[in-house]
Structures are given as C-alpha cells and as structure tokens.
Amino acid sequence: MFALVDGNNFYVSCERVFQPRLQGRAVVVLSNNDGCAIARSNEAKDMGIAMGAPWHQIRPLERSHGLIALSANFALYGDMSERMMALASALGYRQDVYSIDECFIHLHGVSGDLHERAQQLRQHIRRSIGIPCGIGLGSTPTRAKLANHLAKLAERHPHKYPAELAQVCDLERIDQPLLHRLLQGLPISAVWGVGRKLAPQLQSVGVHTVLDLLQSDAATMGHHWSSVLERTVRELQGTPCLDWDALPQPKQQIAYTRSFGRTVTAQGHLQEAVSEYTARAAEKLRHQHSAAGAIGVYIRTSAHQPNADERYSRGLVMTLPQASQDSAVLIGAALRALERIYQPGYRYAKAGVHLLDLQDAARLQLALPWAGTSPERPGLMQTLDSLNQRFGQTTVQWGSAGLGGRARPWSMRQERRTPAYTTRWAELPTLHAPRTPDQ
C-alpha cells in the first residue's frame, strides 16, 4: 500500500496559518512579479478563477467580490513544506517527496489500521503546523493519487460524494459498485500522468472516464500510445510498476531528487550533488520552455537512521530576483541555499532540488529580455542541452558537480551495470588479438 499526503491549496493554507483573517475568504497567491494566480483557496476556485489566471484579468474581483491577492512567499512555503514532510514521514518506512506539498509514503509492512493511522496523521499535521491535508491510500502510487483526488472532491462537494471519503480516502476500501460509479464520473485527466494533450486522443477512441481507462487493456494502450500510458493503466488496475526515477512531473514544479550511492558527510560532496541535480532539473525546465522564479533545496540523512541524534533533514527555498532558466543562475542559488542548511557531522543519504514558480520563458523574454545576463546565455544553454542529449547526459557538465564521474561517492551505485557497448565511445567493446607463444 501507498499513501499520498497532499497539503490542500498549499500556498494559501501557509498564508492562512499566520493570517487567520484569510479563513473563509477568496484568496489567491500570485507568481513572481505578481503575474498570475498560482494557488487558489476553495472560495477563489468557486468564483471561477482558473489556475494561472493573469492578475490583471481577475483584479476587478478584488473590489466586486472581496478577492484577496498575495505575492508569493516561497521562503515561507518552503519552510512549512519542510515541517509538513517531517511529520508525514512518520507514517511509513520510506518517503518520496514529490513536490513542495506532496509526498508518497510506502506502507509495506506497516501494521494496524492504515485508514485510522492516516486520519491521526492528518490531525497531527493540522494541530502541529496548521496545514489541512488530504491523504489518499491505494495499492499503487497511481491509485493513492486518485484516492487523494477523491478525498479532495468529497471534502469540497459533500452533497455529491459520500462523507466518509472526505479528507482521507482508501481506494481499496470502497466497494466495487460505488467505486465504479465514482470513477465513471471522473475525466481521465484526473489520473496521474494523463496529460491534457493525451485526453482528447483517448476520447477519440471512446476512453472518456477513469473507469474506461481502468477497464482498458494495458498492452493495447502501450501498443497504440506509449509504455508510459501502459504503466499508468497497469498501476490504475493495481499492479505497481512505477519507475520512481521517471515520475510524471507536477505541472507547476520540477523536482530532481536522488538517494546517494553512499552516505556523504563533506559539504563539498553535497555541493557536487546539488549542482548536478540542479543542472538536470534546469535541462527539464528548458525542455518545457519554462523559467523558474524560485528554487528549493533539501538534504537529509537516511529515514532508517535508528538513532534520533543522527537524523537531520532541512530544506530551504531561495527566491530569484528574476525568473531564470540559466543553469548557472539556478546552481548559484541552490548552493547558497545549501550553504545555509548544511550541518557538519551528519551522514547525508539524499538531496533534492525543486524548481518552483514556473513561468513561460517566451513571455518572460518579451517582458525582460534576459536582463542581468548576457544575450549569449540562452544560446549557450541550448548548445549544452543538445550536446548532452546527443552524446550522453554528462558529456558537458558544470565544474561544481565535480569531475569524479561514477567515483563520486554520492553518484548512484551502479557497480553491476554492464557497459553501454553501443552508445558510449568510452565503453565500446575492445578486441585483444591473441598472443602467439613466440611473441
């Protein structure tokens, strides 16, 4: 079993903790430079304000409907996230932080009533830090994510959904006829990893609802679309087959987190890891033509560390003066964050980087054409990306990521990996001519 713990309307909820007057009001949080709505309270959603709605368009609602708009405070959200994740990690043995407000908890081997435990955790988070959460439980991460979606719907629309599904929803406990009825009412875009582009294509072959997708043949889906969709369907049907290294990305964020091959203690090693993770995340960012307005970094010791004195976990979000897609700018900010959260003496097992406040790079470029950086930078980044795409991920890399290749202690352990015989020059098979006895 898996749990997905998700902070409700997270940025708005963080603001409400410190400003109770915002409770029950329509609130939106705006992106960097107050461009568009990146978080909405339920009241704001009910007003019809869309995710990403430009501020100048919704501004009249301030007067007419008492809408409250706040500028994003990523330093606050990052810190609240850190606190929420620390509490959530108590639910199971392994936690995968997926975004600033969501994490998966692996529940294998956790005894007792999972629904009850999830309820208690939800109350504990609410009491300790004031953030309301939804928790979804399911036999696969995709089902847990769907359960969380139902938990949120049931909380927002009590007349349409059974009350016992609100806040904490266990998909495996819902009886089959009811589950089918619920899933029949959900569009396929409610399924994790089914993007907006894919939905119309699937509709054209008669797959309209989550139930249709659940009842489709996974192999056929894989044959006609992609292995990613095939895995999604299998996950939806209850077979865990998710590749944790290739999770579908949240729309508003890009995350790159990895466990180290070996634990590290030196700040220099963490700097290397954080540099490389940031560079990888920046590559994804440019690939989707976005720029990031903030970057979050976290480091932690192993969750299995039995001794509480030897456990440490900290994260910090840095807001950039201006959104950027330049790896050097992002790495610089990430290393400044690391500088502030690093504590000597711990054995670190994992680090992660989150790119936040994503914005359309093209629009940004029109508004502020690479202010602060030289005009050659976008071209340089493009060259870098195409070299690495063509010749392998680490063909050209940042000096701060270290030059030790696989020997870097934090690099993922792949001791048993066979050579990339056909795609890497350095790993081409070598032929040795047999020696003759008189040579």
What is the binding site for Mg ion (CB under 5 A)? Answer: 6-7, 10, 101
Secondary structure (DSSP) of 144-173: HHHHHHHHHHHHH-TTTS-GGGSSEEEGGG
Instruction: Give CA–CA dist 163/223, Å, rounded.
Output: 40
Do residues 193 and 178 lie in contact, with contact meaning Cβ atoms separated by under 8 Å? no
Q: Which of 153, 154, 132, 135 is nearest to 144 (CA)?
A: 135
Q: Closest CB to Mg ion among 6 and 15? A: 6
| Alpha carbon separation from 240 to 137, 212, 236, 332 (Å, rounded) | 13, 19, 9, 38
Taking the complex as a whole, the smallest distance from the CB of residue 18 to Mg ion amounts, in Å, to 18
Q: Closest CB to Mg ion among 131 and 401? A: 131
Burial bucket for residue 222 (CB in 10 Å: 0-12, 13-18, 19+): middle
Taking the complex as a whole, the smallest distance from the CB of residue 9 to Mg ion amounts, in Å, to 7
Taking the complex as a whole, the smallest distance from the CB of residue 318 to Mg ion amounts, in Å, to 21
Q: Closest CB to Mg ion among 10 and 256? A: 10
CB proximity list for 344: less than 8 A, separation 6 or greater: 265, 267
Taking the complex as a whole, the smallest distance from the CB of residue 27 to Mg ion amounts, in Å, to 15
Q: Closest CB to Mg ion among 8 and 271? A: 8
Taking the complex as a whole, the smallest distance from the CB of residue 171 to Mg ion amounts, in Å, to 18
Q: Closest CB to Mg ion among 148 and 278? A: 148
- Biggest CA–CA distance in the chain, Å, is 98
Q: Closest CB to Mg ion among 101 and 230? A: 101
Do residues 254 and 354 lie in contact, with contact meaning Cβ atoms separated by under 8 Å? yes
Strands of 125-228 (E only): list them: 133-138, 168-170
Taking the complex as a whole, the smallest distance from the CB of residue 106 to Mg ion amounts, in Å, to 20
The residue number whose beta carbon is nearest to Mg ion equals 101
Burial bucket for residue 427 (CB in 10 Å: 0-12, 13-18, 19+): middle
Q: Closest CB to Mg ion among 191 and 264? A: 191
Taking the complex as a whole, the smallest distance from the CB of residue 10 to Mg ion amounts, in Å, to 5
Taking the complex as a whole, the smallest distance from the CB of residue 51 to Mg ion amounts, in Å, to 12
Place of tokens 């994804």: 284
Taking the complex as a whole, the smallest distance from the CB of residue 74 to Mg ion amounts, in Å, to 15
Instruction: Give CA–CA dist 145/151, Å, rounded.
Output: 10
Residue 389 three-state SS: helix
Taking the complex as a whole, the smallest distance from the CB of residue 257 to Mg ion amounts, in Å, to 18
Q: What is the dihedral of CA 221, 224, 225, 226, to 10 degrees?
A: 80
Q: Which of 400, 231, 387 is nearest to 327 (CA)?
A: 400
Q: Closest CB to Mg ion among 15 and 101? A: 101
Q: Closest CB to Mg ion among 134 and 402? A: 134
Residue 186 φ then ψ, to 5°: -105, 135
Place of tokens 């964020």: 253
Instruction: Give CA–CA dist 39/350, Å, rounded.
Output: 29
Q: Closest CB to Mg ion among 10 and 260? A: 10
